Structure 1
């Protein structure tokens, strides 16, 4: 059985609504309200478990909303290791307007984390046993930019492979520290990482391969949205088109991609197969409403389309 741990420093309760149309100043009623545990690492764990693996979630949790998040994770049968904080866990909202097909997302900044709290998190992570550690999501306020780099360094010393999906200074610091198994920025995040405003796939692939050859990360996956994605290692650059699907919601597409890729890599699959499986999972996430994330049957179906085209 494949075992991973995920780290989510700024988790959220994701609430999804669907209604006919937005009208200002009116009381807008919806037939359903759906709430799921969310945040990058938690989303990765949800999909990884659906694919048959074991996932342990380390995350920060505080206040009455933190207790609600804990309960939601129990409903999803996720093994959890909350790190208690004083601040309130955030609540995010996704609203789908049926008449226009537009999706609106409201994402609060989240609580401020104290030095004692993030040190407690570091201590907790040092005792978590896993094959892969997936770090996904933004850094909350109060946590230093090199936190993910510290976590990855500690994991490397214990023989744990670290996968990072983040952005900004946190991503730069971790890549500079090196020895990551995989990083997965989107195009904007990748441009910020390398300090160049490039969009040509050939140039993106070359820049990503330079990072791999420097030893900063074994694999670099750059997601290009509707244009697909690029996988770079020291030996190869592979471009993959996005699955042809009618998008219902974009929530969790990147997290679904990471979960599926790690699932394949942990099972000993090739880099290319893991990449295409991840791209299929990202496409599968677009098919589910609100915060439902990718479903295994959809992932397999979209992956088989890649296989049939090669």
Structure 2
């Protein structure tokens, strides 16, 4: 079974209060307690897709002890650096339909010794797995951004494929170290000054992607609010449209997309097929209240509803054109309409 190591510096203990009464008159609330945070949500979807996951994290104080139990109960291999202090947590109330934050804490920053131990653990586990996801903590001050530069560089030096799902200073740092795949949203690029709110069409996104690739990303995925997203690898540009499903909770869709891509890569899929898996995983996640959740069978069915258009990287005239390789693939899919890409692997 393929393995992925996830760098999740500071998992969050999440408490969510919900009311799913069929008659709409309230009643006894449902209280859900889970481990959460970006890396955990990615790891959860990876597990749903049949991937063995090692989570490298810190486990802080009383909350950290609870988080470890929750993670291990889900079947993750947890490499946790235990420390004293206050961990990250939130309490959200969703009984009115929207999330209302009751209480939130980002937890204490990592000390030098804890950071050294976490760094070493992630380097070791990433080398063993061969594929690593670098994800961020909830709080800006949990660890230095330069940690991501060093990790990306050291992992790749040791032959590890590095996927970064980061923004801001952490993204900038990871790019300096070099990454195989970068996933970022158009809104995050606006916040970083690489796009503007008025200039977010495909040509604008491609210019931003060129800048990100010049900084150290081999492949870049830019999501756009659940709609068509853009992928560039070398001279290949893909415009990918996931199936549009009814939204229960939009949170976690991007993390599920990242996890789906990594699950495909870990299983030996081509980048294009891994992107389709990611698009299907992200689409399914928005139909669910649990972040990073879904089932492999439904995701597999949704892959057929993902639309992928290939275009050239250099000119507007290439919009909508299909490469010779793409035409050949389409022709074969017409001859074998029920064949899935992974059956050809």
The normalised TM-score by structure 2 is 0.80
| 4+ long deviations beyond 4 Å | 307-310
Partner deviation per Cα, 1:230-282 (whole Å, 9 max, x = no partner): 11122111112242111111232121111110111222222222212211111
Contact in 1 for aligned 2:240/2:306 (Cα 8 Å): no
| Aligned mate of 2:42, from 32, 41, 44 | 44
The match for 1:118 is 115
2:256–2:292 Cα contact (<8 Å) kept: no
Indicate the structure (1 or 2) with the bigger Cα radius of gyration.
2
72-81 or 235-244, which deviates more: 235-244
Q: Which residue of 1 aligns with 2:183?
A: 184
Distance 2:98 2:142 in 1: 34
In structure 1, C-alpha distance between the alignment counterparts of 2:300 and 2:50, rounded to whole Å: 13
Partner Cα separation in structure 1 for residue 287 and residue 142 of structure 2: 36
Give the number of aligned pairs: 300
Question: Which residue of structure 2 aligns with residue 102 of structure 1?
Answer: 98
Cα separation, 2, equivalents of 1:257 and 1:15: 24
Task: Provide the residue aligned with 1:32 in structure 2.
Answer: 30
| Distance of aligned partners of 1:38 and 1:240 in 2 relative to their CA distance in 1, 3 Å threshold | same
Q: Does the 8 Å CA contact 2:151/2:177 hold for their aligned counterparts?
A: no
Contact 1:285-1:295 within 8 A present in 2 as well: no
Does the 8 A contact of 1:95 with 1:103 survive in 2?
yes
Preserved CA contact (<8 Å) 1:43 1:256:
yes
Moved more, 137-146 or 30-39: 137-146
Note the C-alpha offset of 1:296: 2.0
**Displacement after TM superposition at 1:170 (Å):** 1.0
Larger RCO of the pair (alpha carbons < 8 Å, separation 6+) = 1
For the residues of structure 1 that align with 2:39 and 2:183, how far apart are their CA atoms?
13
- Tell me the SS of whatever aligns to 2:220: strand
Mean CA deviation greater in 158-167 or 134-143: 134-143
Instruction: Report if aligned partners of 2:4, 2:129 keep a CA contact under 8 Å in 1.
Output: yes
Q: In the alignment, what sits opposite 2:302?
A: 302
Distance 1:180 1:82 in 2: 24
8 Å CA contact retained: 2:45, 2:292: no
TM-aligned CA deviation for residue 9 of structure 1: 1.0
Matches within 5 A, 1:101-180: 101-104=97-100, 107-128=104-125, 129-138=128-137, 141-175=141-175, 177-180=176-179
Deviation (angstroms), 1:308? 10
Q: Relative to 1, partners in 2 of residues 1:130 and 1:16: Cα closer, same or farther, differing over 3 Å?
A: same
Residue by residue, what CA displacement relative to the aligned partner does 1:13-61 show, whole Å, maximum 9, x if unpaired? 122221389xxxxxx9743111221111222111111111111010111
Distance 1:31 1:255, change over 3 A: same
Q: Is the 8 A contact 1:57 1:78 kept in 2?
A: yes
The normalised TM-score by structure 1 is 0.88
Q: Extract unaligned runs of 5+ from structure 1.
A: 22-27
Say if 1:113 and 1:140, in contact at 8 Å, map to a contact too. no
Partner of 1:234: 234
Greater CA drift, 283-292 or 260-269: 283-292
SS in structure 2 of the partner of residue 211 of structure 1: helix
